[in-house]
Amino acid sequence: MAVYMVTWNLNKERGNYAQARQAFIQHLDRYPNVSDAGLESVRWLSSSATANQISDDLRLKLDLNDRIFVTKLNNGEHQGWLSKNVWEWINARM
């Protein structure tokens, strides 16, 4: 399985923003994933699917004016300032 970073932005102008966000997170939570408290709309997830397949799946819960970006992490080619538990989760799957 690979580790992917997923980041998204839901249009807050919609009347049902809270419900839409909850539905999106529940859909995303079908994948093993971890989040960092400092990055509200970013998750790292583990899957054997491709970035295209994950994006297509998650877009089922998005509107046309929302945005999403999915990218695969490569071993030894990522860095950042994240919570220790997030790094442990990522590194255990790389």
Long-range pairs for 83-92: beta carbons < 8 A, 24 or more residues apart: 83/36, 83/37, 83/38, 85/34, 86/34, 86/35, 86/36, 86/44, 89/34, 89/44, 90/3, 90/34, 90/44
Per DSSP, the three-state class of 34 is strand
Query: Strands (DSSP E) along 1-94, which ranges?
Result: 2-9, 33-34, 42-47, 67-72
Domains of the chain (ranges plus CATH)? 2-93 (3.30.70.240)
Q: What pLDDT score does 15 carry?
A: 75
Residue 43's Cβ-side half-sphere holds a number of Cα atoms within 13 Å equal to 20
pTM as predicted: 0.92
**What angle separates helix 51-58 from helix 17-28, to the nearest 10 degrees?**
140
Q: What tens digit of pLDDT does each residue of 28-75 get?
A: 999 999 999 999 999 999 999 999 999 999 999 998 889 999 999 999
